[in-house]
Each structure stands twice: as C-alpha cells, then as structure tokens.
C-alpha cells in the first residue's frame, strides 16, 4: 500500500510539473495582446428648420432653427435628398424646410446629409 501511494505521488508530481512547464512555454510563445484602440467617430446630430442661405462656392448652408440660425459646412460626400429622392445643391433654396444630419468636427457643424421636405401635392 505504501508503495502504491509513493508511485501515485510521484506520478502526480510529474504530471503537475509537466503541466506547469507546458503552460509557461505556451505563454512565452504567444504574442502579447495589444488593447484595441477604438477611433472615436463623431456622433450624428440633427437639426431641422428653413434654409436661410446656401452659398454654393463655399458649400455653407445656413438654416433657421427654433434655436436661431445654424451654419453648416457640407461635407464633400454629403447627400442631398428631396424626400427619398436624390437632389443637388441647387435645390437648397431659401425658405425650404430641411433636416440636416451633421457632426461636430473641429468645432464646426459638418453636414453629411440634407433632406429637403417633399412638397405636398
């Protein structure tokens, strides 16, 4: 009985030691994990109101909202829509009701989408 206990103890010690060595070797060969860096994307904001002015040369749209006039710079890839249909910058005329989706970039309102309210028939 004593001999069986000794054999089991030695076997357990060998298995434990080999597990520790293989675990240590595995952690040494693994590449260290680098925390993923998430780039902050500007939060999408929106404003609604009437077009006060649109200067096509500078791509600056001024909208009169309930909080006063807001100035938006159209992004180079900004979408302009009339209802669900594509439109052009020339459709941004004074007095039209619009909804502007924008983000704050370097302290400026940069519009990514301008939706002109479709006229009711």
Is 32 a domain residue?
Answer: no
CATH label of the domain that carries residue 102: 2.40.50.320
Domain that holds residue 112: 45-116
Distance CA 54, CA 72 (A): 9
Domain total of the chain: 1
Lowest mean pLDDT among 34-43, 44-53, 90-99, 100-109: 34-43
pLDDT of 76: 92
At 5 the pLDDT is 58
Does residue 107 form part of some domain? yes
Tens digit of pLDDT for each residue in 7-46? 556 555 555 656 565 555 555 555 556 555 555 566 689 9
Determine the pLDDT at residue 10.
59
Q: Does residue 38 lie within any of the structural domains?
A: no
For the full predicted model, state whether its pTM sits above 0.75: no
Average pLDDT over residues 80-103: 93
Q: Which residues contact 111 (CB under 8 A, 6 or more apart)?
A: 61, 72, 73, 74, 75, 78, 100, 101, 102
How is residue 45 written in tokens? 């904001």
């Amino acid at each position: 009985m004593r001999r069986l206990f000794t054999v089991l103890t030695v076997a357990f010690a060998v298995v434990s030691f080999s597990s520790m060595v293989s675990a240590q070797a595995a952690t040494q060969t693994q590449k260290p994990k680098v925390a993923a860096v998430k780039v902050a994307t500007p939060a999408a904001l929106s404003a609604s109101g009437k077009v006060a002015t649109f200067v096509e040369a500078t791509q600056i749209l001024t909208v009169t909202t309930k909080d006063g006039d807001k100035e938006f710079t159209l992004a180079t890839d900004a979408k302009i829509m009339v209802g669900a249909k594509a439109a052009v910058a020339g459709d941004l005329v004074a007095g039209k009701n619009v909804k502007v989706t924008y983000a704050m970039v370097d302290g400026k309102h940069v519009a990514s989408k301008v939706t002109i309210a479709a006229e009711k028939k």
